[in-house]
């Protein structure tokens, strides 16, 4: 079965959910302070993203507008990321293990596997311990399966398909 990378647009009050979706490896745009409502809706429509918000006002604008008729919209009843992830699983979303931590949790950019350990930014003990690192070309961060990784993995473990 093909692994599906979902595309989400997440409203600002759901930043906790956005972070977990990024850890799960899905393409997740978090609305910024500068995004007007119109810009936020338009981006989701143009980039074929599933928009998730708790804002009834936003929902009413979406419902009342022909322009956004084809937008995929989820009105969340909670800001709790765990409740929301359970809800997404209930709606039929599958979160595959292969995608976990394959995306930068800061800038939503796919990570590249790095075997060359010449990078100066990574501590020596990490280079000795892990043969594979992941690199974000957008922000220059390196990721490795250390304790921070394991904590992130644990926080989403129960939603991953097994």
* Contact window for Zn ion (CB under 5 A) among 48-56, 64-72, 94-102, 128-136: 128-136
Please enumerate in sequence order all residues whose Cβ is within 8 A of that of 128, keeping only pairs 6 or more positions apart, or say none. Answer: none
Yes or no: say if 103 and 6 are a contact pair by the CB < 8 Å rule: no
User: Which residues in 88-117 contact Zn ion (CB under 5 A)?
Assistant: 104, 106-107, 109
Q: Does 15 bind Zn ion (CB under 5 A)?
A: no
How many residues form the binding site for Zn ion (CB under 5 A)?
Answer: 7
Q: Does 139 bind Zn ion (CB under 5 A)?
A: yes
Of the candidates 28, 10, 6, 9, the residue with the CA atom closest to the CA atom of residue 105: 28
User: Least distance in Å: CB of 104 to Zn ion?
Assistant: 3
Tokens of 107: 């800038």
* Contact window for Zn ion (CB under 5 A) among 25-33, 50-58, 93-101, 134-142: 134-142
- Dist. CA 47–CA 9, nearest whole Å: 9
Which of 60, 78, 132, 138 contacts Zn ion by CB under 5 A? 138
Query: Toward Zn ion, which CB reaches closer, 44 or 104?
Result: 104
- Dist. CA 70–CA 140, nearest whole Å: 36
Q: Does 137 bind Zn ion (CB under 5 A)?
A: no
């Amino acid at each position: 079965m093909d692994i599906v990378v979902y595309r989400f647009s997440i409203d600002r009050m759901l930043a906790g959910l956005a972070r977990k979706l990024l850890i799960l490896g899905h393409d997740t745009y978090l609305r910024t302070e500068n995004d007007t409502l119109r810009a936020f809706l338009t981006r989701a429509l143009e980039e074929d993203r599933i928009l998730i918000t708790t804002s009834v006002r936003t929902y009413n604008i979406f419902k009342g507008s022909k322009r956004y008729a084809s937008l995929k919209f989820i009105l969340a009843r909670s800001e709790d990321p765990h409740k929301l992830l359970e809800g997404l699983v209930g709606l039929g979303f599958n979160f595959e293990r292969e995608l976990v931590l394959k995306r930068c949790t800061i800038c939503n950019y796919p990570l590249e596997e790095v075997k060359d350990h010449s990078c100066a930014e990574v501590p020596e003990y990490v280079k000795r311990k892990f043969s594979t690192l992941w690199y974000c070309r957008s922000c220059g961060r390196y990721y490795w399966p250390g304790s921070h990784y394991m904590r992130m993995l644990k926080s989403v473990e129960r939603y991953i398909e097994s």
